[in-house]
Amino acid sequence: MSDERTMRERMLAGEPYIADDPVLGEESRRAQRLCHQINMADPTDRDLKRTLLDELLGAFGEDSELRPPFQCDFGYQTTIGARTFANFGLVVLDVATVTIGDDVQIGPGVQLLTATHPIEPGPRRDKWEAAQPIVIGDNVWLGGGVIVCPGVTIGADTVVGAGSVVVQDLPSGVVAVGSPARVIRSI
């Protein structure tokens, strides 16, 4: 029995899919166009930026700010809560969902990476990939240059030090640093 689902349906279900599917390609180009408009917008025109972010993202919370440049794969897979601030250079590879809570502080150059690729060379050459969601809890602070890897959840009130690489879940109310990020103390 063949699988009749589209690559988009497979991607949204969290299953392996072919990355260069034409439908996904068009959705990615849409996101690139909107990101370009956001990145080129007059920084004092908050209404235009808000309109573009509302069109691009799954949700963009009240009183949140995202400083350009910003890049994402699809946009509609990303939700950002209220009063969240993302500094310059946020990259969100939102092949799977990326959920960013309320009151989150994101330093410059942060990367939220949901995409995964096969280890075996054949499937990788054939453009198969998959993804795992990322969840950033309320009141989290991600220092500059933090990388959050696929499938990670960071609990509320946690601080992740600059340059850290988060490869596994972090509980609420801790400070974590390093590569890989390790909890060094409770808050």
The sign of the torsion formed by the CA atoms of 12, 145, 152, 17 equals positive
What are 163's two structure tokens?
A: 């340059």
What are 51's two structure tokens?
A: 């309109």
Distance CA 34, CA 60 (A): 14
Give me the long-range contacts of 82-91 (CB less than 8 A, separation at least 24).
86/110, 87/144, 90/66
Q: Which residues belong to the active site?
A: 117
Q: 114, 135 in Cβ contact below 8 A?
A: no
